[in-house]
Structure 1
Amino acid sequence: MGRNENSKTAVIVGAGPGGLAAAMLLGAKGYEVDVYEKQPVPGGRSGRLKLGDYTFDRGATFLMMPQLLEELFEQAGRSVHNYVELHKLDPLYGLYFDQGRTVLMPSSDNEETARRIQALFPGEEAGFYRFMTDESVKYAHVEPLLRRPFGGFGDYMKADAIKALPHLKITDTVYGQLSRYFKDERLKYAFTFQSKYLGMSAWECPGTFTILSFMEHRYGLLHPKGGISALWDAMVRVAEEHGVRFHLGTPVERILTEKGRAVGVSVQGGERRTADHVVIGADFATAMNGLFEPGVLKKYTPEKLEAKKYSCSTAMLYLGIDGEIDLPHHSVHFANDYPKNVEEITGSQKLSEDPSIYVHNPSKLDPTLAPAGKSAIYVLMPVPNLKGDADWSGRREELKEWMLDRVEAIDQLKGLRGRIEQEAFFTPLDWQDSLDVYRGATFNLSHNLGQMMAFRPHNKFEEVDRVWLVGGGTHPGSGLPTIFESARISVDLIEKTDRAKQARPAPQPLGAAGGSE
């Protein structure tokens, strides 16, 4: 397909969730778009992993806030339901405490969840109802702030931000907020563990983020048939239907700039592609360190990037298992001393002797991921990022066996080693070296108060004109719903910039207007 000389052009660096969403939206708006992705598959750190006949999602394993995804496809003139088969999960997940002796399985039906809380923690169900009522008010105030840019401090003075401020609970923590609703520590953990989606401790994460747990209970969790990677395939298809060109396995080496403005990119092999706009969907710190010529950036130098706060990392096991697994679709297995485990991950940054783990067991619901009668199991253990001192290179095999020991300590997974047909071990070092995740910080920049909203890298990049950011390293933050929103915000800003330029009157010769007859 030839280029239309009159259309606006954009290059997108990275085909992660933010890059794919931006490609769909820009393509639907008539932009000529090229997407360059270093990896051979779309999805970024959440791309598809194949091990023999088994299929895994590398990172994210579920969808929340399905209405945002529906809106995204509608803005591209499509229905997500024509491309992906979405299954609502019930229970949402299994939460295993006390070495599995206490199990809470929250339902997608809030009344059923209240009954299950009452059965395990008598009298605490009233706190659940109060939590859901209060959080619905908070969410109504917070949600508009996630849909618009925060380009400076003036954005805090807008009416929606002023009205939201009393509801944000920014001076409290997620754990502090949940302590207002529940007495039993295990129940508090059941509504605070979601802080790990931000790679943060619930004892440090701003109280605003209790909305993560609320959103799960209010809107449910969904599994796309074929895994999350089936959604990336769908987004590629929609973008291609709008003329977007994808270049997988093609790394961008430099963003080309002239006089403080991006003019295109150079890609591996020497090709140069000019564009009116450059959208960066790559890992934020890695992109800042590698995509610009030295000296171009002043605010995001290597030293200043290193000084920022980053999320925890994850150690991963992807296991093709002979037979079925008697665990729900999602399960979280809490350490006996969960506060200590969290402090070690995010504070002292050392490996816990008693770690918590998350197990994804989608094969009972989705037969496309493993051969009949077998299971594709994904095990995630939150660990310190590479600022910690764990030797993931020299002790790789030892640490893999240690993680397998923890897995086999779960009753339903005893003897699992003897059933493994395929396996892959992925460490914080692999996140950094294979997928360019800075310091292996799987959930990107931390979400402390100094790195939220106007303090987070802006969607309209501050340092170079005509550069736009999408993904977890910009506003509104990490997690699929907010990453999709980052793309929508950035595309809206791109369109406004071009409309303003078109509306500007062309320069006229002296005397052509306003002169005497």
Structure 2
Amino acid sequence: MPTANQKHILIVGAGPGGLTAGMLLAHRGFRVTIVEKNDRVGGRNSEVKLDDFSFDLGPTFLHQKFCLDEIYAETGRNSDDHLDFINLSPMTRLSWGDTSLHTYSDAMKMAAELERVFPGSSEGFQRYMVEQGDKFRTIYPCLQYPYHKPSAYLRPSLLRALPHVLTTRSVHDVLGDYFHDERLKLAFTFQAKYLGMSPWHCPALFSILSFTEYRYGVYHVQGGLNRISHSMADVFQELGGELRLESPVKQLLHHGRTLSGAELENGERISTDAVIVNADYGHAATRLFGARNEPEGKMRRRKFSCSTFMLYLGLDTIYPDEPHHHILFADDYKANVADIQSERHVSDDMSIYIRNSSITDPQVAPAGQSGLYILVPTINNRHGFDWENHKETYAEKILARIEQRTGMKDLRRRIIAKRIISPADWESASIFMGATFNLAHTLTQMLYFRPHNRYNGFDNCYLVGGGTHPGSGLPTIYESGRISANLVCDRFGVSYQPVDLASDYLREA
């Protein structure tokens, strides 16, 4: 039987999924090389440096921390020894006009806050937590296995979950079982944005997203969530893995159903026994496989998530009354979401997410100053909106709206550094159609119908990241890395010892 150290695994991309797979496979004895096109690790979970300010490029919420804990534990490590986690309380401020609600993972605090803002609503919240806890316990095991064979649907865990999966109800429909006020429904459905989807179209099973926050909390990592990627890269190299930055892949080399290696842009060729692709799915499938590339027109017929318009601001002051996480809902949120789903209309009545991490984290800005991260969900690039000629104007509209609706009345005068990333910029960074949350999570693009962790058409190619199962979001991307690492081990007959911390959390759900 082959031993792991006789096999070389090449991972394309040092995003969270690639780093997860790299850590696990290096720990299990494989020779692992990660090639990354950028000069830093992390992919969308990397760092943006702007003068003396540090920002997360993408994810700013860490939930289901136990998923990350399991990855570290499988390499004999404790994530808390490598990263400084802060369980945020409150988690988020949600604002509609002149009404604001703070959210908590402490059930008693959350019930009290609901009664303060929406009297009589705590009973619905308590039912929600009980019933969605049962649902989470049922669905969670289905996220830990691959679905590259139809027979996976016969797995007992999925059969138990099918009533939650095979339904035409949306997340918004589910929350109607617990709350009547539309604002309250949004407080438990806005998490659909983590998937780049509308609460009115997001499948009902994803109502567990808000449950995981209200039950297990939202974490910040000191220095930013990009520190997770740096830490994982350090562990990967401690375990003997080779990390090569600024090494973009031109194409993957194949003979029939077998990938034999990769050719880098500089002409170098790397031989390998298996390949794990952590590049953006739409980009990779249409660019990296040479004669086996999927036609771009066919890829564009799939349903993709929305994009995001980003502002990274360095300020010469700190706003102490602005919370760590703040969501300003559009005046007509349903119309705003409909504009985004149309993939044509850029809404002036936008919803805005603001992270003011400097009130929690002194590492991200100079003393007396702060960094503001602003995200606005918007259309992807399917229809080619001219962002280059509109991004400055749109940024001004966003800043004016923030000044109007928050206590940051002099925000524009306080800006000393600024960077904009538009959907066009995301696409220039090899994100297909600028769809920052990857393929949409529709019923026809989930489980077996989502691109498989073992990539179709090749016997030794595997996918990780938001474009494969289980989907977008840091916890599920970590899980995709573990699933593909396990598939590699299964292929080469290498045993491994899984770590299960989640069961204790599920029992408490």
Query: Which TM bucket (shorter chain)?
Result: over 0.9
In the alignment, does 2:395 pair up with 1:396?
A: no
Moved more, 174-183 or 412-421: 412-421
Distance in 2, Cα, partners of 1:331 & 1:400: 18
1:472 deviates by 0.2
1:421 deviates by 1.0
In the alignment, does 2:466 pair up with 1:472?
A: yes
Counterpart residue number, 2:340: 345
Q: How many residues are paired up?
A: 492
Question: Residue 189 of structure 2 aligns to a residue in which SS?
Answer: helix
Matches for 1:45-60 after TM superposition, within 5 Å: 45-60=44-59
Cα distance change on mapping 1:388 and 1:110 into 2, 3 Å: farther
Cα distance change on mapping 1:500 and 1:17 into 2, 3 Å: closer
Matches for 1:450-461 after TM superposition, within 5 Å: 450-461=444-455
Q: Deviations over 1:369-402 (max 9, x none)?
A: 0011111100000000001453101223222222
Q: Deviations over 1:442-480 (max 9, x none)?
A: 000000011000000000111122000000000000000
Matches for 1:418-429 after TM superposition, within 5 Å: 418-429=413-424
Amino acid at match of 1:242: L
Distance in 2, Cα, partners of 1:88 & 1:421: 30
Asked if the contact 1:444/1:472 (under 8 Å) is kept, the reply is yes
Counterpart residue number, 2:436: 442
Counterpart residue number, 2:254: 257
Q: Deviations over 1:210-239 (max 9, x none)?
A: 000000011101111110111111101100
Unpaired segments ≥5 residues, structure 2: 496-509
Moved more, 484-493 or 408-417: 408-417
Asked if the contact 1:170/1:449 (under 8 Å) is kept, the reply is no
Question: Residue 259 of structure 2 aligns to a residue in which SS?
Answer: strand
Distance in 2, Cα, partners of 1:41 & 1:413: 33
1:105 deviates by 0.2
Cα distance change on mapping 1:256 and 1:417 into 2, 3 Å: same
Counterpart residue number, 1:327: 322
Counterpart residue number, 2:498: none
Counterpart residue number, 2:36: 37
Cα distance change on mapping 1:152 and 1:170 into 2, 3 Å: farther
Cα distance change on mapping 1:5 and 1:197 into 2, 3 Å: closer
Of 203, 207, 215, the match for 1:206: 203
Question: Residue 128 of structure 1 aligns to a residue in which SS?
Answer: helix
Unpaired segments ≥5 residues, structure 1: 502-517
Question: Residue 38 of structure 1 aligns to a residue in which SS?
Answer: coil
Q: Deviations over 1:158-201 (max 9, x none)?
A: 21111111233632100000011001110001000000100001
Counterpart residue number, 2:264: 267
Distance in 2, Cα, partners of 1:394 & 1:216: 38
Cα distance change on mapping 1:189 and 1:208 into 2, 3 Å: same
Moved more, 153-162 or 378-387: 153-162
1:154 deviates by 1.6
Matches for 1:247-396 after TM superposition, within 5 Å: 247-294=244-291, 296-297=292-293, 300-325=294-319, 326-347=321-342, 349-396=344-391
Matches for 1:136-215 after TM superposition, within 5 Å: 136-168=133-165, 170-215=167-212
Amino acid at match of 1:96: S
Counterpart residue number, 2:65: 66
Q: Deviations over 1:310-365 (max 9, x none)?
A: 00000000001111122111010001111111111113531112101000111011
Asked if the contact 1:312/1:442 (under 8 Å) is kept, the reply is yes
Distance in 2, Cα, partners of 1:317 & 1:376: 10
Asked if the contact 2:343/2:380 (under 8 Å) is kept, the reply is no
Distance in 1, Cα, partners of 2:337 & 2:148: 33
Amino acid at match of 2:32: V
- Calculate percent identity across the aligned residue pairs: 42
Cα distance change on mapping 1:391 and 1:409 into 2, 3 Å: farther
Distance in 1, Cα, partners of 2:383 & 2:200: 20
1:45 deviates by 1.6
Q: Deviations over 1:79-113 (max 9, x none)?
A: 11111010100001000112xx1110011201110
Distance in 2, Cα, partners of 1:362 & 1:339: 29
Amino acid at match of 2:227: A
Counterpart residue number, 1:416: 411
Matches for 1:205-244 after TM superposition, within 5 Å: 205-244=202-241
Asked if the contact 2:275/2:462 (under 8 Å) is kept, the reply is yes
Asked if the contact 2:93/2:102 (under 8 Å) is kept, the reply is yes
Distance in 2, Cα, partners of 1:398 & 1:214: 37
Amino acid at match of 1:469: L
Cα distance change on mapping 1:81 and 1:119 into 2, 3 Å: same
Amino acid at match of 1:421: I
Asked if the contact 2:175/2:185 (under 8 Å) is kept, the reply is yes
Of 99, 103, 107, the match for 2:104: 107
Counterpart residue number, 1:505: none
Asked if the contact 1:10/1:275 (under 8 Å) is kept, the reply is yes
Asked if the contact 2:261/2:275 (under 8 Å) is kept, the reply is yes
Distance in 1, Cα, partners of 2:376 & 2:4: 50
Question: Residue 40 of structure 2 aligns to a residue in which SS?
Answer: coil
Distance in 2, Cα, partners of 1:388 & 1:315: 16
Question: Residue 429 of structure 1 aligns to a residue in which SS?
Answer: helix
> Following superposition, which runs of at least 4 residues in structure 1 exceed 4 angstroms of deviation?
none
Question: Residue 478 of structure 1 aligns to a residue in which SS?
Answer: coil
Distance in 2, Cα, partners of 1:290 & 1:57: 27
Distance in 2, Cα, partners of 1:369 & 1:157: 48
Moved more, 344-353 or 175-184: 344-353
Asked if the contact 1:138/1:168 (under 8 Å) is kept, the reply is no
Superposed CA RMSD in Å reads 1.5
Amino acid at match of 2:331: N
Counterpart residue number, 1:9: 8
Distance in 2, Cα, partners of 1:187 & 1:169: 26
Amino acid at match of 2:430: D
Counterpart residue number, 2:475: 481
Amino acid at match of 1:28: H
1:483 deviates by 0.3
- Name the larger-Rg structure: 1
Distance in 2, Cα, partners of 1:385 & 1:479: 18
Distance in 1, Cα, partners of 2:182 & 2:236: 46
Amino acid at match of 1:379: I
